Amino acid sequence: MGMYVGKKTEICSICNQEKSRGIHLYTTFICEECEHEMVHTETNDPRYSFFINQLKTAIKSKMYR
Ligand SMILES: [Zn+2]
């Protein structure tokens, strides 16, 4: 983490992978791939609630840090 000079990477809150491209939602980073998947996942898809849960957990853990 933080080893790559000139390339800013962050840990995605959904897949926990280090990515350089993505969006920030509140204080949480979501990589491009996960953001794309979330957008294209139906709200009744079980994966959708997984995404939401991951986000909630990520936001909470940052709040109490
Ligand atoms: Zn991701």
Tell me the CA–centroid distance for residue 31 and ligand 1, in Å.
4
Instruction: Give a yes or no: residue 2 inside a domain.
Output: no
pLDDT at 19: 95
Is 38 domain-assigned? Answer: yes
Interval between CA 37 and ligand 1 midpoint (Å): 9
DSSP for 3-46, please give it.
Answer: -STT---EE-TTT--EESSEEEETTEEEEHHHHHHHHTS-TTSH
Ligand 1 centroid, distance to 64 Cα (angstroms): 22
Let me know if residue 37 belongs to a domain. Answer: yes
Number of domains in the chain: 1
Q: What is the pLDDT of residue 55?
A: 87
Does any domain span residue 8? no
Residue-range definition of the domain harbouring residue 54: 16-63
Cα 43 to ligand 1 centroid, rounded to whole Å: 18
Mean pLDDT per 10-residue section of the chain, whose length is 65 residues: 66 94 89 93 93 87 66
Q: What distance in angstroms lies between residue 28's CA and the mean position of ligand 1's atoms?
A: 11
Q: Please check whether residue 56 lies inside any domain of the structure.
A: yes
For residue 28, how far is the Cα from the chain centroid? 6
Sign of the Cα pseudo-torsion (33, 39, 42, 45, in order):
positive
Domain membership of residue 32 (yes or no) is: yes
